[in-house]
Amino acid sequence: MTEPTETTTHADPAPADAAVLVRDAVDADRAAALVGSCTVDYDGRASGHVDPGVRHVVRQPDGTLLVHGATGHRPLAWHAGDGDFTTTATADDRLVLRAESNTEELTVALDAVHALTVYDPDDADKDVQGTEADVVSRLLNDPDLVESGFTPLATERDTPAGPVDIYGRDANGRICVVEVKRSRVGPDAATQLDRYVRALREDLHTDSDIRGILVAPSVTQKCRDILLERGHDFSPFEA
């Protein structure tokens, strides 16, 4: 009975027709993509407004509502996939899409719909390689990449300040906290490492006999300064 539904496109639908089409798409857990002239109003954690213009509006089956403009990766406005979604054809012939949750609301008011496409997006099976976790694997397979003679003892070892990427011992048997980053890092990475080292020193009552090692392709100067000031080391490693 349920055969693969087809993608349907509509050129210049009247707002009242578009309202029905979008509502049907939502009811059928389908996606609706609109191109049209609209204003956008957001209110929630912050608030915002987008002046009239032609935008690309997408309502996904998970409830996400996105408004894309002409540039950039990020939507001009968006709403997470929870809460209510309503489509209304107004008396003055506009199509109003409204997503509303406990804390946020997003209203897209289209005075013209140039195109409407209803379709069935698939859930995505996505592989990514080159993440921080991949770098950690490499370092565990060849611990000398951290430092000659390094021995890993655990990953994600808990400290009062949070879990450390790699916990181990150096060639002299000193405990090491290793923080791994996949790309060049700034001051935040150095202070993150420092927090873990300090927490572990306090936890183990071994005042300063714990080393901190930051593994990353490279560090900025301010990062290097902080490492130096706090007595931690930088070990360059490029994935």
| Interacting residues toward a second copy by CB under 8 A | 6-12, 31, 33, 35, 45-51, 53-56, 58, 60-62, 64, 66, 68-73, 75-76, 78, 80-81, 114-115, 117, 119-131, 161-162, 182-183, 187-188, 191-192, 194-195, 222, 226
Given the structure tokens 């706090």, which residue do they identify? 230
CB of 130 to DNA, least distance (A): 6
User: Torsion over CA of 137, 164, 182 and 215, rounded to 10 degrees?
Assistant: -90
18 binds, among a second copy, DNA, none (CB under 5 to 8 A by kind): none
Interaction between residue 236 and DNA (CB under 7 A): no
The residues in 18-57 that bind DNA, with binding defined as CB under 7 A, are 42, 44-46, 48
Rounded CA-CA distance 224/189 in Å is 10
Q: How far is the CB of 128 from a second copy (least distance, A)?
A: 4
Instruction: Classify 222 as helix, strand or coil.
Output: helix
Q: Is 211 in the site for DNA (CB under 7 A)?
A: no
Residue 178 or 189 with smaller CB distance to a second copy:
189
Query: How many chain residues interact with DNA (CB under 7 A)?
Result: 39
Q: How far is CA 36 from CA 21, 53, 169, 179, 184, in A?
A: 15, 8, 61, 48, 41
Contact 10, 116 (CB under 8 A): yes
Residue 123 binding partner per list DNA, a second copy, none, with a CB distance cut-off of 5 to 8 Å that depends on partner kind? a second copy
Our finding on whether 60 is near DNA (CB under 7 A) is no
Please tell me the distance from the alpha carbon of residue 102 to that of residue 214, in angstroms, as a whole number: 41
Q: Are 169 and 226 in contact (CB under 8 A)?
A: no
Given DNA, a second copy, none, residue 69, with its beta carbon under 5 to 8 Å by kind, binds a second copy
Footprint on residues 141-200 left by DNA (CB under 7 A):
158, 161-163, 165, 179, 181-184, 186-188, 192, 195
Radius of gyration of the chain (CA): 26
Got the DSSP string for 39-83?
A: EEEEESSSEEEEEEEEEEEEE-TTS-EEEE-SSSSS-SEEE-S-S
Residue ranges binding DNA (CB under 7 A): 42, 44-46, 48, 71-74, 77-80, 104, 106, 128, 130-133, 158, 161-163, 165, 179, 181-184, 186-188, 192, 195, 220-223
